[in-house]
Amino acid sequence: MLAIREMARRRLQFGLVTGVVTLIAYLVLMVTGLGLGLNQAAGTALLALDGDYLAYSDRSNLSVIRSQLSEAQATDIATAPGVAASAPIGYVAAAIEFRPGEVDTGALLGIDLGAIAEPAVVEGRALTETDTRGLLVDRTWVSLTGTGIGDTLQVPVGLAFEPFEIVGVVDEGSFFFQPAMFMLRDTWRQISYRAVDQATPFASVVLLQGESLEGATGAGWEIVTKDTAFWNIEGVSAQQGTVDALRYMGLLIGAMVIGVFFYVITLQKVSLLGVLKAIGASGTYLTTQGLLQVFLVSLTGTALAAGLAVLTKATVLSSDAIPIAFTTGAILSSSVAVVVAGVVGALLSMRQISSIDPIIAMQQQQ
Amino acid sequence: MALLELTDITKTFGAGDQRVEALRGVSMAVEAGEMVALVGPSGSGKSTLLAIIGALLTPTAGSMLIGGRDVATFDAGARTRYRRDQVGFVFQASNLVPFLTARENLLLVGEFGGADKGALRRRADELLKELGLTEAAGQAANRLSGGQRQRVAIARALMRDPLLILVDEPTASLDTTRGAQVVEALREEIHGRHKACVMVTHDLEMAARADRVLEIRDGLLRAHGAPVV
Ligand SMILES: Nc1ncnc2c1ncn2[C@@H]1O[C@H](COP(=O)(O)OP(=O)(O)O)[C@@H](O)[C@H]1O
Ligand SMILES: [Mg+2]
């Protein structure tokens, strides 16, 4: 009652600090959302692949761009102990002209029909053997560019652009910050290497299903988990590091703001708290009241911030052009982090409260 | 046996050059229903004695029995509960929670645990009425006059039906008329509710309203008016 009454009667002070906490929590949430969004842009298509492991050529440094595997290696990998299923995948980035003069970069992924890397089609139809100039294109990109099934995209094959048809839409996200576009692996070989013969790489990587394949190696190849593959996508670890640093900074600022605020209001109340202790309030009672306030301020601030963040995403950032993404889990964990930061920040004040000597009640002169 | 019995209480602050003997062997007894005024010049040890009786300070030596129990043996938790349940304090000034109303200030002591809240609500209304605070009950403490505040403090001290009321300079912030009204109200409550009361004051006119006046000088107690030995 004491904690709540004080907040209700000192609305200005508590309102202001709640407002500041809201802004800080909002910042933390948006940064978290940006991190999630960037990660999604970096590799949802990789994470969405229906397998647990990826094989790379061993001198690629786990870069899909630099990895090149021969047919012999792909066979070698496919027959490695523990492998249940495998699918070679080719990757190349290409400029895609989706309307005369309008060009975007797409992540072209060459796949084999019927293999585990073939994506599920959500609209239109799947690729067939005869679709040498057919594409399955990511849903988000289709809506962003206003293209659709049956539309023609100009894709560079050698020096010339050739017409490719969107035969289906998939929901696989993006890869290397580019929309995923799936094609037959033979077509990918043509685009990537022009001449296709024995010396042409067979795939960039091989997707694998199986048991405990991590760390397996062979002639010029190595296997890692999909997770490791994801964190090795160029830029992902660095951007996650940046996002984490910003989050921790936000949490630190939150802890300090709450800490300083409660320190100051505790200082203002030292003599009152002394009187309350003198008339029989225990230190536990008073710190509980203090913690309740800290908890309410940080919880209210975080709840407002979560609402604000979701609202921002739904309005200002509704186009998918800005990669901010929220998941319930991310919002919850960030909210908990802000509340914990607030409580940690206020611990000093709680110590201060419990160390007040009730004798001061008798030492105040009018 | 008296409700409160102090035997040979001493209190020394500091050590060496800083050493101050605030109390040098104080013995006294207070009966239930009795209001004792403690007078003496500034620095004579009045507040120190009151703080010891209220378990805000521990004596350096001597014994203190309250209702037959030896307070010196209490641990920190027991001292807090003793102050909560057995003692009612009225301090000089600014001892109410400013943002709570008069009535809320009374009910607040129910939150410290170990009390029947329903009984406390009835008691609060009763005390507000007796102390002429019915109209002021809903006002924030920082809006009350000085006299009203001290009467609320007296009511709060009585809320948990303590054995002992300890009052430190209750009229320091009041003019003579209001001060007299406050002390008169206190006296009526002490007698009406059969409490023991020790009131520190430097105002002899206020002290004269008590049943008995004790004078303290340089940490030693003697009956008021007795010659300096
Ligand atoms: N915490 C303390 N530390 C040191 N000396 C103190 C302390 N409290 C009181 N004293 C000293 O004890 C003596 C009695 O003080 P006090 O009981 O406050 O007197 P009074 O209330 O009669 O004015 C004074 O000399 C005072 O300076
Ligand atoms: Mg004093």
Same domain (yes/no): A103, A126: yes
Q: Which atom of ligand 1 is nearest to the CA of B13?
A: 4
CB contact under 8 A, B83 and A359: no
Q: Which of A212, A247, A275 is the last residue of a domain?
A: A212
CB contact under 8 A, B93 and A366: yes
Name the pLDDT band for A325 (thresholds 50, 70, 90).
Answer: confident
Same domain (yes/no): A120, A16: no
Same domain (yes/no): A57, A38: no
Question: What local confidence, expressed as pLDDT, does residue A217 receive?
Answer: 87
CB contact under 8 A, B77 and A5: no
Q: Is residue B50 part of a domain?
A: yes
Q: Is residue A230 part of a domain?
A: no
Question: What local confidence, expressed as pLDDT, does residue A366 receive?
Answer: 43
Q: Domain count for chain B, please give it.
A: 1
Q: Domain count for chain A, please give it.
A: 2
Domain residue limits at B34: 2-223
**Cα-flanking dihedrals φ and ψ of residue B87, to 5°?**
-120, 140
Question: What local confidence, expressed as pLDDT, does residue B229 receive?
Answer: 45
The per-residue pLDDT for range A107-142, each reduced to its tens digit, is 999 999 999 999 999 999 999 999 999 999 999 899
Look at residue A196 and tell me whether its pLDDT is greater than 80.
no
Q: Which atom of ligand 1 is nearest to the CA of B51?
A: 17
Residue numbers in chain B where pLDDT is lower than 50: 228-229
Same domain (yes/no): A153, A246: no
Same domain (yes/no): A61, A207: yes
Name the pLDDT band for A320 (thresholds 50, 70, 90).
Answer: low
- Alpha-carbon distance of B112 to A366, in angstroms, equals 27
The pTM score is: 0.82
- From the list A8, A359, A319, the residue with the least C-alpha distance to B168 is A359
Q: Is residue A12 part of a domain?
A: yes
Same domain (yes/no): A159, A287: no
Q: Confirm if B53 and B4 have CB atoms less than 8 A apart.
A: yes
Same domain (yes/no): A90, A200: yes
Which residues line ion ligand 2, judged by CB < 5 Å? B 47
Same domain (yes/no): A204, A284: no
Look at residue A241 and tell me whether its pLDDT is greater than 80.
yes
The per-residue pLDDT for range A94-106, each reduced to its tens digit, is 999 999 999 999 9
Q: Is residue B228 part of a domain?
A: no
CB contact under 8 A, A279 and B57: no
Same domain (yes/no): A17, A76: no
Greatest C-alpha distance within chain A: 98
Question: What local confidence, expressed as pLDDT, does residue B198 receive?
Answer: 96
Same domain (yes/no): A37, A67: no
Question: What local confidence, expressed as pLDDT, does residue B227 receive?
Answer: 52
Residues of chain B in Cβ contact (below 8 Å) with chain A: 47, 50-51, 54, 56-57, 77, 80-81, 83-85, 87-89, 91-95, 97-100, 104, 108-109, 111-113, 140, 156-157, 160, 168, 172-173
Question: What local confidence, expressed as pLDDT, does residue A365 receive?
Answer: 54
- Token pair of B116 as six digits: 């029947």
Question: If you average pLDDT over every residue of chain A, what do you get?
Answer: 91
Residue A359 is which amino acid?
A: I
Q: Confirm if A338 and A62 have CB atoms less than 8 A apart.
A: no
Domain residue limits at A17: 2-42+237-365
- Token pair of A326 as six digits: 């929220």
The per-residue pLDDT for range A47-83, each reduced to its tens digit, is 889 999 999 999 888 998 899 999 999 999 999 999 9
Q: Which residues of chain B neighbour A282 with C-beta distances below 8 Å?
A: 77, 80, 112-113
Q: Which of A212, A246, A262 is the last residue of a domain?
A: A212
